[in-house]
């Protein structure tokens, strides 16, 4: 049994303008100690997936279907009491913008200790010791002094480290990182990623890395889920996805990355604009932008298909390939 | 506190001093724009007062000299004798009136603050539900009705028709209606301010972080959200005092409260110019100081602004 | 033969004919983008959807039209003391009539079979038809509010634009002046100026058209002009400063657009919405101030009524004739409330920053 099992998760936001189907049937497994990457553009539903797991959606958002099982325990519909025990304790999350994610009117010490005292039975001084320990762990210098400082006295990279310290204070089984490096410089980015990998080795936790940056994914992820317009396109091991992509969207993404080999050639972006989540079409949401779209792509949503034991994809092209194969071998 | 904040505070203090000076100057020259000057002509002016003024300001001396003398005296809180109330100095009249008016104003301000913050928070937490819509409708109504209307209506209903409270403001019970009347507008304003501020805060990322850490609902509100939500309310302290001062003019009139507001209105209709000038300057200075304090407090409290 | 790994039997029925490439038109059809419209149309649409603001707009318009139209055909005028006829002794039966009552001569007329137009709100203590006084008072309050706001708008825009465009020393000086005026306690200054000015202005305008309006109202306008332009000027200046630096102005310039095009297409639409909203919220403020002053006796000169002075006069007879206070109170509240709601609605509809 995997540590985290997500099956056919569906989340919608009920707004004045209608129901926005942010997540439409995402499934994946997360094994202990492994790193899963969720990749997609803005609006693909990757962050909402994470918020749905922890049930920290904005008030207009609701999980409308599917299941999320942590160590066999169903979280969807489990109630606040269960979730409060999960949040910050068994599953932690760090967010994209560390400046706005920390309360500006409290010291970081206060915020760290809050996380600690919420889930453990430590006394105040024990919690403070633990907080300093955590700051050391994430390589914040002079932790005894800095623990009394306010968020605005830290630099961007430092704040993200503080967030990581806060998230890991209770040694969670899973750390969800929602675009943790997007708001940071490239050099700081590398440091943070390195830090996360070190901590993963030390503490043995699993990581869900949410990002739109394929480079980050390539660096640290064991498995990848590719999302588009709230649905998943394909999922599999990193090798499979990068070297054997089986969904037109993934192929388009990989093609659009400029590499040393393609130097001098025209950039190949994916044409068109992302779909309107208020008006999802019947068929595959990527079809209008897909070079190889077929009539069936516009009419019906493709089912998920096993490519091999490490790789599932949801694209009619694979069915077409199979049919052609079957047709050929029949001759 | 760092040097940038100190500089800001210094600038504001200088601005406040300049403003008070402008008030005194404008008051003085505007008063002298009355044909014949403020100190002459009215038949009801007591001769003793006139004699005192003559001695102080030398009514035939050049205007600028009178101005400078007046300025100096004003800084010492000496505004001369009342033209109409025989034997009384303006400063004394003002101090007398202030006793009642200050009581009125402070109680009204506190009630407005406390009730406003509570109602505003409730509305924000139950956003778009019935209680929120109800609160919004009521506050919109109170924000739009001029104080003299509310006061008059309250007077008619509660004092005259129902006879629950006395109509006259000279007794402690008589102050109930004036306090309520005076506090309704600021309360409505603070409610709306708190509501929008809290809604804004609740949408902030750090609230999401707190929830993701497993902090419970009530603790998020009282621990994380409230502190940040109240910061904009501090900016309202200055304008609230200004409102209470001007509101008291009307309220004291309607409910016959012996405060400085009523004295001021009577001084206008009675052409008691020294009293008009003195009261204007004192009240204006009070408002300017309150605005200054409010601005400074805001700067100090908002940790983000302190650094930038 | 290798075990073909066919997918788990497709649970959907698949038409094999559909496995041919889709045409571009078919793809286009599915991409339903909302039709884009101009900022203005969007805003108007939003405003209409906002029921509260829309109703307020209707109410305000109705009240305004009523205040303009009714005096044209109403048989009584606001300053006509019905009991007072030159040469005859004062007929006190006309004073303090309750609604739908009649004075002595009118009674006689009715008995003689004539039709006498009813006094819907009765008469006041001087025998004047109260209904028309309320209507006229509304007209005055609205007019004062409107014109005062226009004055503020013009001065504020001018000063703000000058400060914004010229920048440098001019900007500095203007903004310092704005700062000082902004910190002045406005009400006190207004009262002070109003209390004093009519003494001065009174003799100056005697005999002219302006005398009809009254020195008090003129001094109100002057005070407003002196004090209230500051927030508008700050707004305009801010708009100009930020718009000057906006990326899209740079972008437009980069594509070779001329200065005037930039101004008309970009600066004006953005500033207009801010200006309209600010003015819409300024009008109730002006009406508020005017009624406040009238209540204190510093507003319109008798016999001209304003809602504030009517309320103030009614205070005396409040116990016996409460309706005389309640009616102008309701009208003022409706107007100010309606304008506030309308202003809020306008802001929700047109403020681009609040767009979700």
Q: A with C: how many residue pairs have Cβ under 8 Å apart?
A: 71
Say which residues have a Cβ less than 8 Å from residue B2's Cβ, sequence separation at least 6: B306, B307
Q: What is the spatial distance between Cα C8 and Cα A189, in angstroms, rounded to a whole number? A: 42
Interface membership of A88 toward B (CB under 8 Å): yes
Count of other CB atoms within 10 angstroms of residue B67? 16
| Per-residue H/E/C for chain B | CCHHHHHHHHHHHHHHHHHHHHHHHHHHHHHHCCCCCCCCCCCCCCHHHHHHHHHHHCCCCCHHHHHHHHHHHHHCCCCCECCCCCCCEHHHHHHHHHHHHHHHHHHHHHHHHHHHHHHHHHHHHCCCCHHHHHHHHHHHHHHHCCHHHHHHHHHHHHHHHCCCCCCCCCCCHHHHHHHHHHHHHHHHHHHHHHHHHHHHHHCCHHHHHHHHHCCCHHHHHHHHHHHHHHHHHHCCHHHHHHHHHHHHHHHHHHCCCCCHHHHHHHHHHCCCHHHHHHHHHHHHHHHHHHHHHHHHHHHHHCHHHHHC
Residues of C in contact with B31 (CB under 8 A): 196
* pLDDT for A331: 40
Do residues B269 and B250 lie in contact, with contact meaning Cβ atoms separated by under 8 Å? no
Shortest CA distance from C27: residue in chain A: A288
The tens digit of pLDDT for each residue in A285-305 reads 888 888 888 888 888 888 888
Say which residues have a Cβ less than 8 Å from residue A66's Cβ, sequence separation at least 6: A6, A7, A8, A9, A10, A25, A26, A27, A76
Residues of C in contact with B26 (CB under 8 A): 189, 192
Higher pLDDT, C23 or A11: A11
* pLDDT for C8: 45
All partners of chain C with 3 or more CB pairs under 8 angstroms:
A, B
C52 backbone dihedrals φ, ψ, rounded to 5°: -60, -50
* pLDDT for C228: 84
Distance from CA of A25 to the nearest CA of B (A): 23
* pLDDT for C1: 36
Chain position carrying tokens 């209709």: B269
Is pTM beyond 0.90 here? no
**Residue A330 clears pLDDT 50, i.e. is over it:** no
Render each residue's pLDDT in chain C as its tens digit; 356 residues.
Answer: 333 344 444 555 666 666 777 777 666 665 555 555 566 666 677 777 777 788 888 888 888 888 888 878 877 777 777 766 666 666 666 677 777 777 777 777 777 777 777 777 777 777 778 888 888 888 888 888 888 888 888 888 888 888 877 778 888 888 888 888 887 877 777 777 777 766 666 666 666 666 666 667 777 788 778 888 888 888 888 877 776 666 555 666 666 655 555 555 666 666 777 787 778 778 888 888 888 888 777 777 667 788 888 887 887 777 777 778 888 888 888 888 888 888 777 777 766 554 33
C91 backbone dihedrals φ, ψ, rounded to 5°: -95, 100
**CA nearest neighbour of A168 among A176, A156, A158:** A176
ipTM of predicted assembly, 2 dp: 0.81
Interface membership of A159 toward B (CB under 8 Å): no
Interface membership of A60 toward B (CB under 8 Å): no
C30 vs A288, A300, A322: nearest CB = A288
Pick from B148, B162, B181 the residue to mutate for testing the C interface (most C CBs within 10 Å): B148
* pLDDT for C253: 64
Q: What is the spatial distance between Cα B54 and Cα B100, in angstroms, rounded to a whole number? A: 32
B residues 182-241 closer than 8 Å to A (CB): 203-206, 208-217, 224, 227-228
Do residues A284 and A248 lie in contact, with contact meaning Cβ atoms separated by under 8 Å? no
Render each residue's pLDDT in chain B as its tens digit; 308 residues.
Answer: 577 778 888 888 998 898 888 888 888 887 777 665 555 555 556 677 777 777 766 666 777 887 888 888 888 887 777 777 777 888 888 888 888 888 889 999 999 999 999 999 888 888 878 888 889 888 888 887 878 888 888 887 777 777 777 767 677 777 888 899 999 999 999 998 998 888 888 888 889 999 898 888 888 888 888 888 888 888 888 888 888 888 888 888 888 888 888 888 888 777 777 888 888 888 888 888 888 888 888 877 775 554 43
User: Would the CB atoms of A153 and B307 count as touching at under 8 Å?
Assistant: yes
In sequence order, what are the beta bridge partners of A10?
A24, A65
Interface membership of B253 toward C (CB under 8 Å): yes
Tokens representing residue A21 in the block: 């189907």
Count of other CB atoms within 10 angstroms of residue B161? 11
Interface membership of A95 toward B (CB under 8 Å): yes
**CA nearest neighbour of B106 among B164, B170, B175:** B175
A114 vs B215, B227, B228: nearest CB = B215
Q: What is the spatial distance between Cα A225 and Cα C9, in angstroms, rounded to a whole number? A: 24
Distance from CA of C253 to the nearest CA of B (A): 32
Strand A61-70: give its sheet, edge to edge: A18-30, A4-15, A61-70, A73-74
Using a CB–CB cut-off of 8 Å, the residues of A that contact C are: 272-273, 275-276, 279, 281, 283, 287-289, 292-300, 303, 305-306, 308, 316, 319-320, 322-323, 325-326, 329
Higher pLDDT, A59 or C153: C153
Do residues B55 and B289 lie in contact, with contact meaning Cβ atoms separated by under 8 Å? no
The tens digit of pLDDT for each residue in A227-277 reads 988 888 899 988 888 888 888 888 888 887 777 666 777 777 777 766 777
User: Would the CB atoms of B209 and A115 count as touching at under 8 Å?
Assistant: no
C residues 13-32 closer than 8 Å to A (CB): 14-22, 26-28, 30-32
**CA nearest neighbour of C216 among C191, C187, C184:** C191
In angstroms, the Cα distances linking A211 to A56, A93, A95, A216, B171 are: 19, 14, 11, 8, 70
Shortest CA distance from A163: residue in chain B: B209
A322 vs C7, C20, C30: nearest CB = C7
The tens digit of pLDDT for each residue in A127-175 reads 999 999 889 888 888 888 989 988 888 888 888 889 999 988 888 999 9
* pLDDT for C342: 82
Distance from CA of B199 to the nearest CA of C (A): 14
In angstroms, the Cα distances linking B56 to A266, B70, B71, C179 are: 90, 9, 12, 34
B61 backbone dihedrals φ, ψ, rounded to 5°: -75, 160
Count of other CB atoms within 10 angstroms of residue C49? 13
Count of other CB atoms within 10 angstroms of residue C102? 18
């Amino acid at each position: 049994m995997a540590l985290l099992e997500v099956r056919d998760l569906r989340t919608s936001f009920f707004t004045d303008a209608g129901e926005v189907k942010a997540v439409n049937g995402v499934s994946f497994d997360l094994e202990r100690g492994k790193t899963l990457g969720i990749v997609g553009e803005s609006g693909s539903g990757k962050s909402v997936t994470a918020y749905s797991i922890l049930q920290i959606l904005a008030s207009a958002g609701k999980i409308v279907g599917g299941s999320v099982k942590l160590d066999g325990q169903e979280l969807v519909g489990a109630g606040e009491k269960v979730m409060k025990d999960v949040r910050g304790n068994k599953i932690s999350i760090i967010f994209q913008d560390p400046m706005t994610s920390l309360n500006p009117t409290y010291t970081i010490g206060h915020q760290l200790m809050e996380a600690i005292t919420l889930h453990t039975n430590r006394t105040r001084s024990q919690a403070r010791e633990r907080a300093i320990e955590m700051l050391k762990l994430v390589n914040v210098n002079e932790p005894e002094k800095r623990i009394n400082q306010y968020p605005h006295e830290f630099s961007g990279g430092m704040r993200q480290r503080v967030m990581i310290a806060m998230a890991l204070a209770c040694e969670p089984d899973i750390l969800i990182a929602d675009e943790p490096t997007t708001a940071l410089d490239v050099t700081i980015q590398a440091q943070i990623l390195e830090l996360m990998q070190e901590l993963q080795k030390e503490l043995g936790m699993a990581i869900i890395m949410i990002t739109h940056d394929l480079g980050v994914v390539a660096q640290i992820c064991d498995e990848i889920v590719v999302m588009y317009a709230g649905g998943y396109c394909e999922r599999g091991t990193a090798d499979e996805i990068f070297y054997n992509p089986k969904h037109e969207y993934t192929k388009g993404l990989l093609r659009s990355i400029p590499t040393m080999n393609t130097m001098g050639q025209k950039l190949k972006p994916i044409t068109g604009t992302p779909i309107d989540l208020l008006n999802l079409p019947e068929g595959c949401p990527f079809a209008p932008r897909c070079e190889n779209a077929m009539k069936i792509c516009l009419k019906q949503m493709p089912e998920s298909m096993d490519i091999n034991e490490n790789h599932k994809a949801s694209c009619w092209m694979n069915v077409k390939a199979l049919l052609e194969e079957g047709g050929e071998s029949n001759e | 506190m760092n040097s940038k904040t100190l500089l800001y505070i210094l600038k504001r203090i200088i601005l406040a001093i300049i403003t008070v000076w402008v008030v005194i100057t404008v008051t003085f020259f505007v008063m002298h724009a009355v044909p014949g000057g403020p100190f002459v002509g009215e038949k009801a002016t007591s001769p003793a007062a006139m004699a005192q003024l003559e001695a102080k300001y030398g009514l035939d001396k050049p205007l600028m000299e009178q101005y400078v003398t007046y300025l100096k005296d004003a800084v010492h809180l000496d505004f001369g004798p009342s033209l109409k109330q025989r034997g009384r100095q303006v400063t004394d009249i003002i101090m007398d009136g202030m006793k009642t008016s200050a009581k009125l104003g402070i109680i009204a301000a506190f009630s407005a603050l406390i009730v406003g913050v509570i109602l505003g928070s409730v509305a924000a937490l139950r956003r778009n539900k019935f209680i929120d819509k109800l609160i919004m409708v009521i506050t919109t109504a109170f924000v739009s009705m001029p104080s003299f209307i509310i006061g008059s209506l309250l007077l008619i209903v509660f004092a005259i028709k129902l006879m629950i409270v006395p109509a006259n403001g000279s007794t402690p019970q008589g102050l109930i209606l004036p306090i309520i009347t005076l506090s309704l507008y600021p309360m409505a304003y603070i409610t709306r301010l708190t509501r929008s501020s809290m809604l804004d805060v609740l949408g902030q990322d750090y609230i999401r972080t707190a929830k993701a850490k497993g902090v419970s609902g009530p603790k998020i509100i009282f621990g994380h959200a409230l502190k940040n939500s109240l910061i904009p309310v501090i900016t309202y302290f200055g304008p609230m005092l200004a409102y209470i001062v001007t509101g008291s003019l009307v309220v004291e009139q309607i409910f016959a409260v012996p405060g400085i507001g009523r004295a001021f209105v009577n001084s206008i209709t009675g052409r008691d110019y020294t009293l008009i000038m003195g009261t204007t300057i004192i009240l204006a200075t009070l408002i300017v100081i309150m605005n200054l304090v409010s601005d400074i407090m805001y700067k100090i409290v908002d940790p983000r602004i302190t650094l930038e | 033969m290798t075990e073909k790994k066919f997918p788990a039997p497709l649970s959907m029925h698949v038409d094999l004919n559909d496995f041919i490439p889709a045409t571009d038109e078919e793809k286009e059809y599915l991409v339903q983008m909302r039709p884009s419209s101009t900022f203005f149309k969007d805003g108007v649409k939003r405003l209409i959807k906002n029921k509260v603001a829309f109703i307020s707009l209707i109410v305000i318009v109705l009240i305004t039209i009523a205040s303009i139209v009714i005096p044209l055909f109403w048989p009584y005028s606001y300053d006509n003391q019905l009991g007072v006829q030159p040469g005859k002794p004062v007929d006190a039966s006309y004073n303090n009539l309750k609604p739908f009552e009649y004075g002595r001569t009118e009674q006689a007329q009715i008995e003689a079979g004539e039709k006498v137009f009813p006094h819907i709100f009765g008469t006041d203590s001087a025998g004047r038809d109260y209904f028309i006084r309320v209507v006229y008072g509304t007209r005055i309050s609205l007019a004062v509010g409107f014109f005062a706001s226009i004055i503020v708008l013009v001065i504020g825009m001018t000063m703000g634009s000058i400060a914004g465009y010229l920048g440098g020393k001019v900007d500095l000086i203007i903004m310092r002046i704005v700062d000082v005026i902004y910190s002045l306690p406005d009400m006190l200054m207004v009262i002070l100026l109003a209390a004093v000015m009519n003494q001065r202005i009174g003799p100056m305008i005697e005999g002219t058209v302006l005398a009809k309006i009254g020195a008090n109202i003129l001094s109100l306008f002057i005070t407003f002009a002196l004090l209230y332009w500051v927030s508008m000027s700050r707004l305009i200046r801010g708009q100009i400063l930020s718009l000057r630096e906006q990326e899209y102005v740079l972008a437009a310039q980069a594509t070779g657009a001329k200065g005037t095009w930039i101004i008309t297409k970009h600066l004006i639409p953005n500033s207009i919405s801010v200006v309209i909203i600010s003015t819409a919220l300024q009008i109730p403020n002006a009406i508020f101030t005017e009624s406040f002053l009238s209540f204190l006796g510093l507003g319109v000169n008798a016999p001209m009524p304003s809602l504030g002075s009517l309320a103030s006069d009614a205070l005396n007879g409040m116990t016996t004739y409460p309706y005389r206070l309640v009616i102008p109170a309701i009208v003022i509240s409706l107007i100010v409330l309606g304008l506030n709601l309308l202003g809020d609605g306008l802001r929700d509809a047109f403020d681009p920053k609040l767009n979700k």
